[in-house]
Chain A
Amino acid sequence: MRVFREWIQRLQGTLLPGRRDADLEQEIRLHMEMAADDARRRGLDPADAQRAARIEAGGASQAMDALRDQRGLPWLDDLARDVSHGLRTLRRTPVFTAVALLTLALGIGANTAIFSIVNGVILRPLKYPKPEQLMYLTTEFPALGLTRNALSVQEYLEFRQINQSFAAVGAYRATGGAYTTGEVNLAAGDRPLRVRAISVDAHVLNTLGVQPAQGRFFTEEETDRAGGLARQRSRFSRTSCRKPSWEDNHSVDKP
């Protein structure tokens, strides 16, 4: 507790020195004078007495240094001096300062931007059960130099039949399809909502393990019977569902 108090006092001593240098110097000077008086009383002549006092009491400037260190927090003083020196130097060279600041700003900005992307896309896992097992299937046409092509409906159906590697496989159609542009108006309820939409078959919903907020999803039999994506989408928009997206996880729970 006492030591804590000392540090508070020293912090105060750094910010607003209670005892000025002059005050400390006077105390040191008086000490030297009294030491010299004592030496004179022992029979030394004034010059010798002063020397004796200096030897006995130690150097005044060293004592002052030690006192200044004890009065405040020397490292804080040094830090403040370094900072103000740095600022003065920067003010003298405005071009360098501008370039340095710009570099820093760009560096920090770019870093933040990259991190938010990496964090969202790579580091933060998808909010589905066992996200590490989710795979995105594409086709390749090496002869044409095409990679990551979407599967056709026929390819997908065939893959489903021969699949032995995956527990479940589903298909979806995001944009550019005949029935959706990726966004639709959800007009039921108090006010219309613009929501992201995607055409899916029942297998996708099973694979991702999502549950509808209300009502029910269409079943696999219904998918097979309908045969086309149009009917799936219309059913989908009638039963509102929890939105399966990692970018925006709020649920569309307006009926």
Chain B
Amino acid sequence: MSNKSARSKADVLQGTLDLMVLQTLDSLGPLHGYAIAARLEQVSDGALQLNMGTLYPALMRLEQRGLLRGNWGTTEANRKARLYAVTSAGRRQLATEKQAWDRMAAIIHTLLHSEA
């Protein structure tokens, strides 16, 4: 059966993970899974260490939803890899999710830091 811990971790991250992956691919262009994980680790100063059991199912889910498209290709280091690119539906989804995130973040910020 499936790995429970990988699952529950994915559940916690799911909402934001999709957003992070879409944003990363949208700004950096097609990447393979490892590069996505490395990028997220880098921008989070090592706080975000995605394990494969979380990352790849998420990529597959996004692909199944038609937000990403994955194809085998070669990296700059001339290595075979499955490269993921955002589809136009993915870009639309990213825009909506970004907006929703900003709104929610603003609300939370106001709530937590308002003096009154």
- Please list the residues of chain A having a beta carbon within 8 angstroms of any beta carbon in chain B: 2-3, 5-6, 9-10, 13, 24, 26-28, 30-32, 34-35, 38, 56-60, 62-63, 65-71, 74
Indicate if the CB atoms of A2 and B67 lie closer than 8 Å: yes
Q: List 5 A-B contacts (CB under 8 A).
A: A5-B66, A62-B6, A63-B6, A63-B52, A67-B57
Known: A57-B51, A58-B51, A66-B7. A27 touches B57 (CB 8 A): no
Known: A2-B93, A58-B51. A66 touches B2 (CB 8 A): yes
The B contact surface, by secondary structure, is: helix
Size class of the contact patch on chain B: 20 to 34
| Docked pose: A2 CA to B3 CA in angstroms | 25
In chain B between 2 and 52, which residues have their CB closer than 8 angstroms to a CB of chain A? 2-3, 6-7, 10, 32-34, 37-38, 49, 51-52
| Docked pose: A48 CA to B115 CA in angstroms | 52
Indicate if the CB atoms of B66 and A56 lie closer than 8 Å: no
Residue among A34, A68, A74 with most chain B CB within 10 A: A34
List the A residue with the shortest CB-CB distance to B75.
A34
List the A residue with the shortest CB-CB distance to B60.
A70
| Docked pose: A10 CA to B65 CA in angstroms | 10
List the B residue with the shortest CB-CB distance to A71.
B60
Contacts of B6 in A (CB 8 A): 58, 62-63, 65-66
- Please list the residues of chain B having a beta carbon within 8 angstroms of any beta carbon in chain A: 1-3, 6-7, 10, 32-34, 37-38, 49, 51-54, 56-57, 60-61, 64-67, 79-82, 89, 93
List the B residue with the shortest CB-CB distance to A13.
B64
Contacts of B67 in A (CB 8 A): 2
Indicate if the CB atoms of A3 and B65 lie closer than 8 Å: yes
Contacts of A27 in B (CB 8 A): 33, 56, 81-82
Known: A6-B65, A34-B34, A62-B6. A70 touches B57 (CB 8 A): yes
| Docked pose: A6 CA to B62 CA in angstroms | 8
List the A residue with the shortest CB-CB distance to B7.
A66
Residue from the list A9, A57, A71 in contact with B52, Cβ < 8 A: A57
Indicate if the CB atoms of A30 and B1 lie closer than 8 Å: no
Known: A3-B65, A62-B6, A66-B6. A30 touches B51 (CB 8 A): no
List the B residue with the shortest CB-CB distance to A2.
B65
| Docked pose: A9 CA to B56 CA in angstroms | 16
Indicate if the CB atoms of A31 and B52 lie closer than 8 Å: yes
Give chain A nearest CB distance to B94 CB in angstroms.
Answer: 12
Known: A2-B66, A74-B2. A28 touches B60 (CB 8 A): no
Contacts of B65 in A (CB 8 A): 2-3, 5-6, 9
Contacts of B2 in A (CB 8 A): 65-66, 68-69, 74
Residue among B34, B49, B64 with most chain A CB within 10 A: B64
Indicate if the CB atoms of A38 and B38 lie closer than 8 Å: yes
Indicate if the CB atoms of A30 and B53 lie closer than 8 Å: no
List the B residue with the shortest CB-CB distance to A58.
B51
